[in-house]
Homo-oligomer: A and B are copies of this chain.
Amino acid sequence: MPRTVIIGGGAAGIGAAGGVKAVDKNNEVIVYTEFEDVAYSPCGIPYVHGKEIDDFQSLFLAEKEAYVRAGIDIRYETRVNGIDIHDKVVHVEREGTVRWDRLVLATGFDYADPDVPGSDLDGLYYVKNIRRAMEWDKILDTVKHAVVVHATPLGVEMVTALAHRGIETHLIDPNPWALADVADPDIMAPVEESWREMGATLHFNTDLKAFLGEGRIRAVQTSEGELPADVAVIATHKVPNNALAAEAGLELGSTGGVVVDQTMATSTPGVYAAGDVAELPHGVSGIGLQGLTGSHAYAQGKVAGTNAGGGTKNYQPVYIPWATPAGKWIIGGASFGETTATALGIPHVVGQAQGISRARYFPGVKPVKVKLIAEPKSLKLIGAQMVGGEGIKERADFLATAIKFGLTMRDLASMENVYSPAIGALNEPIVLAATNGVETHGTG
């Protein structure tokens, strides 16, 4: 019986386990995880902290028994200490040497080490594991001052959550605006304004210098001064958990992620990687990307597992639809924005418009700003950014697909749209933005 060993029990690891079993029920599948649980949604944690979701219990997806029934052998709280590519074994804590025919690396990410004095103090919260989150949630009841370190996607969610919870929250980030690696400043401006309305204080162009305190944090030292802190949420950028891969000699990419082909196979025969530890090419720029979403991790895991199990499935270049609540708004987009296109030196033009989500007279109508990024002349879409009140996630899915299939601003300017007062305006904001792009940059 061929055996697939999977290292990691997150979305990628569980996706891989299911992928193997879908191809061949008789394939033996062992999943190693350092944690107590596998089947829960870590993405929900900020919303429980923000009191938008009642309790952590609802984040659990399946009983452990369900995996037993599916023939997936999960070894909880069990660390894998090394991979031997030559002998096709892993070295497992307590178990010793375990052989594999196929190996899937799904070791995920860690937050980048803040690498400043005081990083060993109590009171630094790395949002990741649900059991730790449950403990931290009790601590948050006693917290008056919180500092969120860096306006990454998690940082954005945590500022929103802590402010919503009523904690006096400060955000520090070295960039001039929030989510600067992903979003344009004009998209983030209304979000930042809404955070201020919610009572949060934002410190941009501000470097982290140290965590201050005796045993426990009492303040955060920044380039612009000291901020009182009962807790510091460390939302630094995600780095791939690549120690095992590096030690085993797998090829790593420019992000530190494991290089994979479209079957999620690594440079080593029989070894696959998926999720936050893997590096994937961006569909437009070809640049290596790492640390995408749980949805990407799960899909990658499924592809890796299918191929590991003897089936055939390809993962395609990513165009990255994304969206998230931020302050009182929803932001989102696909591929990249104007700032990133400029930074990458990709020639581009922009079409943009401020539209609305319903008929202007219908209760609950919300603004929807759409920015489309396109190649000059052909006006072929290469990116999109949005900020608005509703329908952002569905538009982001659409625009990522439009980019993938080569649609142009002209195509979107002439697209039909639903008009129904309670749910859609006469003019779809995407159409308005595309029309603006064609009128401004179309050559006829």
Q: What number of copies of this chain does the assembly contain?
A: 2
Contact with A419, one of B293, B392, B407 (Cβ below 8 angstroms): B293
Task: Decide if A418 touches B361 in the complex (CB within 8 Å).
Answer: no
A416/B332 in contact, CB under 8 A:
no
Contacts of A299 in B (CB 8 A): 416
CB-contact partner of A394 in B318, B395, B404, under 8 A: B395
Pick the residue among B44, B363, B394 that contacts A359 (CB under 8 A).
B44
Q: Please name all residues of chain B whose beta carbon is closer than 8 Å to the beta carbon of A59 when the two chains form the complex.
A: 361
Q: Are B321 and A417 in contact (CB under 8 A)?
A: yes
Q: How far is the CA of A428 from the CA of B397 in the complex (A)?
A: 9
A405 to B400, CA, bound (A): 15
Residue A339 is within 8 A (CB to CB) of chain B in the complex: no
Is the pair B298, A418 in contact by a Cβ cutoff of 8 Å?
no
Instruction: Please encode chain A, from 349 to 369, with 1 for each CB lying within 8 Å of some chain B CB and 0 for all others.
Output: 000000000010111000000
Where chain A touches its partner, the secondary structure class is mixed
Q: Which of A285-308 contact B (CB under 8 A)?
A: 293-296, 298-299
> Quick check: B405 and A411 within 8 Å, CB to CB?
yes
A54 (CB) vs chain B CBs: closest residue: B363
Considering only residues 150-190 of chain A, those with a C-beta below 8 Å from chain B are none
Judge whether A424 is part of the interface by a CB distance below 8 angstroms. yes
At the interface, yes or no: A319 with Cβ under 8 Å from chain B? yes
Does any Cβ of B come within 8 Å of A120's Cβ?
no
CA distance A288 to B94 in the complex (A): 72
Inter-subunit contact B393/A424 (CB<8 Å) = yes
Does the CB pair A416–B397 fall under 8 Å?
yes
- Interface residue A30 (Cβ < 8 Å from any Cβ of B): no
Query: Residue of B at shortest CB range from A61?
Result: B360
> Looking at the complex, which one of B52, B321, B362, B421 makes contact with A416 (CB distance below 8 Å)?
B321
Top 7 A-B pairs ranked by shortest CB distance?
A394-B394, A295-B419, A58-B361, A398-B398, A393-B424, A393-B418, A393-B423
Q: Taking A296-B416, A325-B420 as given, write out 10 further A-B residue pairs in contact, using a Cβ cutoff of 8 Å, ordered by the A residue number.
A: A41-B361, A43-B421, A47-B422, A52-B363, A53-B421, A298-B426, A321-B416, A323-B420, A392-B423, A405-B411
